Amino acid sequence: MLELLLSIPKDVVRSQIVSFLDLKSLVTLDTATMAHEHRQNMLTHVLFGAEVTDYWVYDINRAKWLLLRTVLPQCIVLRDNTSDADLNAVLSILSKVTRLTLIKSTKLSFDVVLSLFEKCGILKCLDISSCPWLVDDTMLLLSRRLYSLVQLELTHLPHVTDEGVANVISKCNQLRVVRLYRCAQLGDLVVTALGNCSLIDLDLSHCAETSETSMHKFLIHNGKILQTLRLIENNGITDNTMLAVASLCPQLRTLDIDHCINVGETGLCAILPTCQSLTSLSVDSVMLSPHTIHTMCACVSTKLEYLCLTGSELVDANIEGIVSRAFELEELHIPYMEQLTSNSLIYIGKHLSNLIVLNVRACTEFAPVGFIALAQGCPKLIELDVSYCEHFTDDCLHTIATHCINLNALYISNIPALTDIGVKYVAMHCPNLTFVDLIGTSVTEPMLGQIIERCLYLELLGWRIEDVKSQSLLQLVRQRKITVS
* DSSP for 96-150, written as a single string: T--EEEEES-TT--HHHHHHHHHHS-S--EEEEES-TT--HHHHHHHGGG-TT-S
pLDDT in tens, 293-315: 887 777 888 899 999 988 778 89
Contact 290, 266 (CB under 8 A): no
pLDDT above 80 (res 400): yes
- Lowest-pLDDT range of 36-40, 139-143, 333-337, 447-451: 36-40
pLDDT above 50 (res 39): no
Please return the burial class of 126, using the count of CB atoms within 10 Å of its CB with bins 0-12, 13-18 and 19+.
buried
Residue range(s) defining the domain that contains residue 12: 1-51
60 inside domain = no
pLDDT in tens, 200-220: 999 999 987 788 899 999 999
Task: With cut-offs at 50, 70 and 90, classify the pLDDT of residue 45.
Answer: very low
pLDDT above 50 (res 50): no
Task: With cut-offs at 50, 70 and 90, classify the pLDDT of residue 47.
Answer: very low
Q: Any idea what DSSP says for residue 311?
A: S
Average model confidence (pLDDT) across the chain:
84
* Distance set, CA 356 to CA 124, 303, 305, 409 (Å): 32, 16, 10, 11
- DSSP-assigned beta bridge partners for residue 332: 307, 358
Percent with pLDDT over 70 in the chain: 84
- DSSP-assigned beta bridge partners for residue 187: 209
379 inside domain = yes
383 inside domain = yes
Average pLDDT over residues 379-400: 96
Q: Any idea what DSSP says for residue 18?
A: G
Q: How many domains does the chain have?
A: 2
Average pLDDT over residues 436-454: 93
Using the Cα atoms of residue 270, residue 276, residue 277 and residue 279 in order, give the sign of their dihedral.
Answer: positive
pLDDT above 70 (res 53): no
How many CA atoms within 13 Å lie on the side-chain side of 392?
31
Taking CB atoms within 8 Å and a gap of at least 24, the contacts of 190-194 are 190/162, 190/165, 190/166, 191/215, 191/217, 191/218, 192/166, 192/217, 192/218, 193/165, 193/166, 193/169, 194/169, 194/218, 194/222
Contact 249, 227 (CB under 8 A): no
> What stretch of H or E contains 88?
helix 84-90
pLDDT above 90 (res 411): yes
197-224 burial by CB neighbour count: b if 16+ within 10 A, else e? bebbbbbbbbbebbbbebbbbbbebbbe
413 inside domain = yes
d(C-alpha 206, C-alpha 184), whole Å: 7
289 inside domain = no
Task: With cut-offs at 50, 70 and 90, classify the pLDDT of residue 58.
Answer: very low
Cβ atoms within 10 Å of 302's Cβ, excluding its own: 12
Residue type, 326: A
Average pLDDT over residues 246-267: 90
Which range scores top for mean pLDDT: 99-113, 249-263, 294-308? 249-263
d(C-alpha 251, C-alpha 52), whole Å: 36
Residue type, 450: Q
Contact 120, 145 (CB under 8 A): yes
Residue type, 140: L
Q: Angle between the 265-274 and 290-297 helix axes, to the nearest 10 degrees?
A: 10
Spell out the residues 6+ positions from residue 378 whose beta carbon is closer than 8 angstroms to its own: 348, 349, 352, 353, 355, 358, 404
- Residue 101 has what pLDDT? 86
232 inside domain = no
Task: With cut-offs at 50, 70 and 90, classify the pLDDT of residue 395.
Answer: very high
Average pLDDT over residues 143-167: 90
Contact 364, 387 (CB under 8 A): no
Average pLDDT over residues 319-329: 91
Q: Whole-prediction pTM value?
A: 0.80
61 inside domain = no
192 inside domain = no
Contact 386, 411 (CB under 8 A): yes
> What stretch of H or E contains 68?
helix 60-69
* 21 against 134, higher pLDDT: 134
Task: With cut-offs at 50, 70 and 90, classify the pLDDT of residue 480.
Answer: confident
- Residue 231 has what pLDDT? 93
- Residue 156 has what pLDDT? 92
The angle formed by the CA atoms of residues 273, 274 and 277, to the nearest 5 degrees, is: 105
CATH number at residue 405: 3.80.10.10
- DSSP-assigned beta bridge partners for residue 100: 76, 126
Terminus-to-terminus CA distance in the chain, angstroms? 36
Percent with pLDDT over 90 in the chain: 48
DSSP string for 227-292: -EEE-TT-TT--HHHHHHHHHH-TT--EEE-TT-TT--HHHHHHHHHH-TT-SEEEEES----HHH
